Every structure is written in C-alpha cells, then in structure tokens.
Structure 1
C-alpha cells in the first residue's frame, strides 16, 4: 500500500475519533438552565444596543 494511502487512512481514523469524542462530550453536558440562557440573551441584546449607531448629532 502506498504511504499516501496509509496517511490518508490514519487522518480519517483520527478525525473520526475526534468527532466521536466531541459528540460524547456534548451529550454528557447537563442541559443549560433557563436562567443562564436568559442571562446570555440579555447580554447579547445589551451589546447590540451599545454598538448600534445612534442618531447623528444636530449641528446648530
């Protein structure tokens, strides 16, 4: 077997192992509480309001 083929198979095996590990770690996490989700939503809203351009100042 060519070395390139072996390396490709090794990479695929490694990627599958990483995907499985990631899937298992996300399944093991406890569900996010409603309070946490609401809190982060408020933070995101505040950041959007703070970064939104305001009306142009009137020049007298």
Structure 2
C-alpha cells in the first residue's frame, strides 16, 4: 500500500464529516456564525485604521 493513501483517505473522511456537520447545523446557527465572523473582521479593520491613523499615539511608535 502506498503511504500517501492514508493521507488521501483522511482528507476524504474529513471532508465527509465537515459536510455532515454543516448540513446538521441549523440555519440560524450558521447565520450567527457568519455574523460573528463579519463583525470580528470589521473590528479588526477598524482597529487597524485607528492604529495607523497619522497623529495617533499608536502610529508614532
């Protein structure tokens, strides 16, 4: 048996499990997860803008 076959089988099984988990999660939970992710990235963007704005203490360091 080729050593890479185990890795290929692992990836295939992981994809199956991800698909099952995504299908079993209620729509409301998926929407909440998406909203939290968008909010998190928005906060990161705002923080980066504040930290790099000229004239702020963070930008002077």
TM-score for the superposition, normalised by structure 1: 0.47
Which is bigger in relative contact order (C-alpha 8 A, separation at least 6)?
2
Larger radius of gyration: 1
More helix as a share of residues: 2
TM-score for the superposition, normalised by structure 2: 0.46
